[in-house]
């Protein structure tokens, strides 16, 4: 889902993060991979400065800041790490698609809930069911005549 739009990372139809706002650092990955992991820097840490980004309006920036507050570091960077693959390029693509998905989900505005009320037939059906159940229980009771 790494839609590249010229020199930007496409998040949705209206938001494209310019590539010059993304800082990628390559480090050595841990985990499986044998000697290859110990000698090559394939783990990618992608940082995006949310506060100074040109990709978002002020309203969008505030929404993303609220939604991703737990993922922001002290400097206000959104940090995404990928070390799943053996190649640095694949890990960068993975990190970029994760960042795009994070921002996309943070920008989604939930629909307003419209309160509903049960129909007259639904109310009547509920009352009838209650009445049947109470009659059933009443008939089970012992009557010491």
Pair 14, 56: CB distance under 8 Å: no
Tell me the Ramachandran region of residue 34: left when phi exceeds 0, alpha when psi lies from -120 to 50, beta otherwise. left
- For residue 1, name the pLDDT band (cuts at 50, 70, 90): very low
Question: Is the pTM higher than 0.85?
Answer: no
pLDDT digits (tens, 9 = 90+) for 19-61: 888 888 888 777 666 666 667 778 888 888 888 888 888 888 8
Question: What is the pLDDT, as a whole number, of residue 20?
Answer: 83
Q: Could you count the other beta carbons within 10 Å of the beta carbon of residue 74?
A: 5
Residue 72 has pLDDT above 60, yes or no: yes
Longest Cα pair distance anywhere in the chain, in angstroms?
A: 91
Domain segments of the chain: what residues? 4-107
Q: Which residue has the higher pLDDT, 29 or 138?
A: 138
Return the half-sphere exposure (C-beta side, CA atoms, 13 A cut-off) of residue 112. 2
CATH level 3 topology of 4-107: Double Stranded RNA Binding Domain (3.30.160)
């Amino acid at each position: 889902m790494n839609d590249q739009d010229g020199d930007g990372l496409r998040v949705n139809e209206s938001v494209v993060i310019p590539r010059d706002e993304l800082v990628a650092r390559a480090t050595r990955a841990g985990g499986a991979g044998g000697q290859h992991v110990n000698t090559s820097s394939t783990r990618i840490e992608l940082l995006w400065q949310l506060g100074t980004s040109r990709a978002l309006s002020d309203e969008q920036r505030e929404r993303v800041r609220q939604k991703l507050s737990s993922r922001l570091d002290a400097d206000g960077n959104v940090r995404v790490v990928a070390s799943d693959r053996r190649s640095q390029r694949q890990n960068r693509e993975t990190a970029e698609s994760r960042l795009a998905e994070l921002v996309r989900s943070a920008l989604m505005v939930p629909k307003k809930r419209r309160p509903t009320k049960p129909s007259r037939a639904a109310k009547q059906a509920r009352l009838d069911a209650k009445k049947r159940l109470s009659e059933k229980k009443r008939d089970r009771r012992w009557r010491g005549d």
